[in-house]
């Protein structure tokens, strides 16, 4: 009886060690938990969903708008956000973030309402959405530059100038529409 108890205890000690591991990177090797903290996951989820939203809205704009500036901007959104999304997916793989972040219901409703507009009304509404969305993105990426996960920091620092450029372009186009 004592031998069985000793064997059971001996078998449980390594198991307890593995389940109590405090190092998230070591723990990730055993149970596939993400290696980013809550702020890093917040950034990744918002960046991924925001990128998908802007691509979906841009596809509508490319079809609906007759304004060459708006159409060119929409095409730039599709190209740039697709490239950023690919980099973000590589980051997600490195940091073991397995979720997908599709367009939220709230953003889908906004895109659907944009699709019902036309002409100058559409152009102004779409470009205002782009200004608002990119301002939020600038704030999000600026905050992520300080994240503890090096890969998150690097992605945010490398992508922020493009997001800021998009914001300035969106503001300029919106101003020209009024």
- Whether 28 has a pLDDT exceeding 90, the answer reads no
Q: 9-18, 82-91, 150-159: which has the minimum mean pLDDT?
A: 9-18
Q: Are residues 45 and 93 located together in one domain of the fold? A: yes
**0.75 cut: is pTM over it?**
yes
SS3 34: coil
- Whether 169 has a pLDDT exceeding 70, the answer reads yes
Q: How confident is the model at residue 41 (pLDDT cuts 50, 70, 90)?
A: confident
Q: Are residues 18 and 55 located together in one domain of the fold? A: no
Give the residue from 170, 169, 161, 100 showing the smallest Cα distance to 132.
170
Dist. CA 95–CA 25, nearest whole Å: 9
* pLDDT at res. 91: 85
Q: Are residues 7 and 62 located together in one domain of the fold? A: no
Write the DSSP string, 60-121: HHHHH---HHHHHHHHHHHHHHHHHHHHHHHHHHHTT-----PPPHHHHHHHHHHHT--HHH
pLDDT tens-digit readout, 60-119: 999 999 999 999 999 999 999 999 999 999 988 877 777 778 889 999 999 999 999 999
Q: Are residues 10 and 81 located together in one domain of the fold? A: no
Q: Which domain holds residue 12?
A: 1-33
Q: Are residues 85 and 168 located together in one domain of the fold? A: yes
Report residue 90 as tokens.
């590589």
* pLDDT at res. 19: 41
Return mean pLDDT, the chain.
84
Give the residue from 32, 145, 136, 52 showing the smallest Cα distance to 93.
32
């Amino acid at each position: 009886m004592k031998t069985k108890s000793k064997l059971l205890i001996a078998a449980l000690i390594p198991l307890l060690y593995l389940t109590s591991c405090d190092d998230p990177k070591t723990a990730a090797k055993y149970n596939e938990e993400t290696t980013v903290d809550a702020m890093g996951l917040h950034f990744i989820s918002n960046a991924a969903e925001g990128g998908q939203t802007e691509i979906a809205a841009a596809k509508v704009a490319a079809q609906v708008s007759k304004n060459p500036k708006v159409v060119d901007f929409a095409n730039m959104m599709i190209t740039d956000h697709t490239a950023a999304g690919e980099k973000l997916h590589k980051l997600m793989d490195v940091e073991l973030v397995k979720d997908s972040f599709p367009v939220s219901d709230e953003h889908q409703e906004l895109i659907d309402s944009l699709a019902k507009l036309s002409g100058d009304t559409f152009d102004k509404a779409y470009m205002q959405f782009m200004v608002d969305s990119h301002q939020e993105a600038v704030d999000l990426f600026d905050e992520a530059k300080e994240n503890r996960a090096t890969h998150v920091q690097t992605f945010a620092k490398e992508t922020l100038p493009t997001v800021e450029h998009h914001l300035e372009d969106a503001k300029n186009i919106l101003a020209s529409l009024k």
